Amino acid sequence: MEGILLESETIQARTAATRLRILDVLSRLPWDGVTFRHEIPGLTLYRIVETTGPFSTVYEPSLSLIIKGSKRLSVGDERLVYDESCFFLTTIGLPMTGQICEVSKAEPYVAAKLRLDLEALRRLITTHDLYPTNSSERDRGIVVGRATPELFDALWRLILLVDSPSDIPFMANHIQNEILYRLLTGEQGGRLRRFALAGTNSNRVAKAVAWLKENYAMPLRVEALAEMANMGVSTLHHHFRAVTAMSPLQFQKHLRLHHARELMLSGSLDAASAALRVGYESPTQFSREYRRMFGHPPLRDVKAILNSDGASRRGAVG
């Protein structure tokens, strides 16, 4: 444990100057209470100054870097904590619950989230022969890795484009490709490549996940899902759990509950209607599973969120 803490402190020290430069650029941007406004595609920049309750959302494939602060995340049975020394990478869309650890106006939480372009990843892999060297495919779809000075330097140059908007159409794409290259050639590169390339078990699971995200309200036949992913049922179960920390049925339930929560928070549906919309036939079962996941019955949970700060209402914070 002492060695891990020392390594974390060393990494933070190596990136401290660059992170200060990023904070300086962000101080010049318009801020709406949660996010900074800018024109760089695929990039979301967050600044949180008040303690938030746990937020739940379905993360899309993305890279997150914390510029200041730390955060806890839960997906299935996986629990992660990361800070300025780490990056957080999700290679497939997963339902997650997160919470910022400590935050105040004097010590805000500041983070960046960059959407992953899987087509760009595949182009880089094939153009530069960046193929996997590790044959293991028991991969989680989420990972925490070391945030190197090179990653933060590229992020700084990407954010710095806000000072020259005319450069964004050309330069943003090149810098984002550099960030992808850093990830592909870094310690988690093999995992990222396996999700990007067709024919691997990780990629097949990613296809099954994508189908479930589009069809979560439909009845699920695992046999049909396995056939769609070109896998046997037992193979699908094995690799699906390895990637998502859940079985396909658990994953579908998490998606349904997250989307029902979003529908209720939007004010468009009550609990019973939201339950039916996402595929539940029994409101009682919906209420029971909702409380088990979020800690409170639907009505009480939604009221608490609507009465809380903006960050909790808006869902994911990078």
Taking a C-beta distance cutoff of 8 angstroms, is the pair 213, 58 a contact? yes
Element (H, E) at 154: helix 149-159
pLDDT at residue 268, as a whole number: 75
Q: What is the dihedral of CA 82, 305, 293, 284, to 10 degrees?
A: -170
pLDDT tens per residue across span 142-198: 888 999 999 999 999 999 999 999 999 999 999 999 999 999 998 888 888 888 887
pLDDT at residue 201, as a whole number: 85
pLDDT tens per residue across span 263-313: 998 887 899 999 999 999 999 999 999 999 888 999 999 988 887 655 555
CA atoms of 305 and 301, how far apart (whole Å): 6
pLDDT at residue 6, as a whole number: 55
Give the angle 38-112-119 at the CA atoms, nearest 5°. Answer: 85
pTM value? 0.82
- Ranges assigned E (strand) in 5-59: 43-48, 55-59
**Tally of CB atoms within 10 A around 292:** 10
Report the mean per-residue pLDDT for the chain: 88
